[in-house]
Amino acid sequence: MNHPTRRTLKNIGFYLLAFFAILIALYPLSYFVLDRTFGLLQSKDALLLQNVFWNIGFYTHILAGGMALLIGWIQFSQKIRVKRKSLHKLVGKTYVVLVILSGIAGIGIAFFGTGGWIAKTGFISLGLIWLYTTIAGLSSVRTGDYLAHQKLMTYSYAACFAAVTLRIYLPILIMLFGDFIPAYRVVAWLCWLPNLLFAYYINSKLKESQNMDVLAV
């Protein structure tokens, strides 16, 4: 594939990433303007929906996670990383704080998730991986390992992007299974495992010579 074609495909991929990230990042706002008996909340017990601590965890997860999704794609812009160092650092620091808030809250509410322990384990695993890759990414840049930082934050945003892929796969799986519960059990894993595999593919293309193209959080 020639260089111009490869660059065009990369640009298309970047714009699609930004489009879906922004679109799904705004989704949590619907819980403030619509009745809560829609979407994933339809599967929740009425008593759970009245639990104060669960609600704190739920809204912390979707709001902080939505904001992380909304700003995270900016870090994949080479122009911003190279020419707008202060913006890259600000977005990075904000992203890390949002991930910590959303990740911890997400793991907490996952214990009360629909679909039994298959689904719960899937979402808990996602939360742990999201937290680990983000915190490890922050740690690596502080020690000057910029290549490891770039790879870890790519994995982090791949985990974050599960919010998008979940909403793509779930309606398809419901149609295939004809029932929400088995579809939800599958999507609890499917929404993030392929994302991490794709991130692995991207990271495998990175070389040590690209080290200095990645700036500190």
Q: Domain locations in the chain?
A: 9-213
Type of residue found at 179: D
Total residues found in the chain within this entry: 217
Greater pLDDT, 80 or 93: 93
- pLDDT tens per residue across span 84-115: 888 999 999 999 999 999 999 999 999 998 88
- pLDDT tens per residue across span 2-12: 566 767 777 78
Q: Give the C-alpha separation, 44 to 37, whole Å.
A: 9
Instruction: Quote the distance between the C-alpha of residue 203 and its chain's center.
Output: 17
Q: Of 75, 77, 106, whose CA–CA distance to 93 is shortest?
A: 75
- pLDDT tens per residue across span 24-46: 888 877 777 666 666 677 677 77
Q: What is the pTM of this model?
A: 0.87
Q: Give the C-alpha separation, 29 to 108, whole Å.
A: 21
Q: Give the C-alpha separation, 103 to 94, whole Å.
A: 14
Angle at 132 between CA 60 and CA 160, to 5 degrees: 50
Q: Give the C-alpha separation, 148 to 81, whole Å.
A: 16
State yes or no: pLDDT of 214 exceeds 60: no
pLDDT at 208: 52
- pLDDT tens per residue across span 130-169: 999 999 999 999 999 999 999 999 999 999 999 999 999 9
Token pair in block for residue 129: 């991986």
- pLDDT tens per residue across span 117-133: 999 999 999 999 999 99
Across 208-217, average pLDDT: 42
pLDDT at 213: 44
Q: Give the max Cα distance, the chain.
A: 59
Residues 6+ apart with CB under 8 A from 23: 164
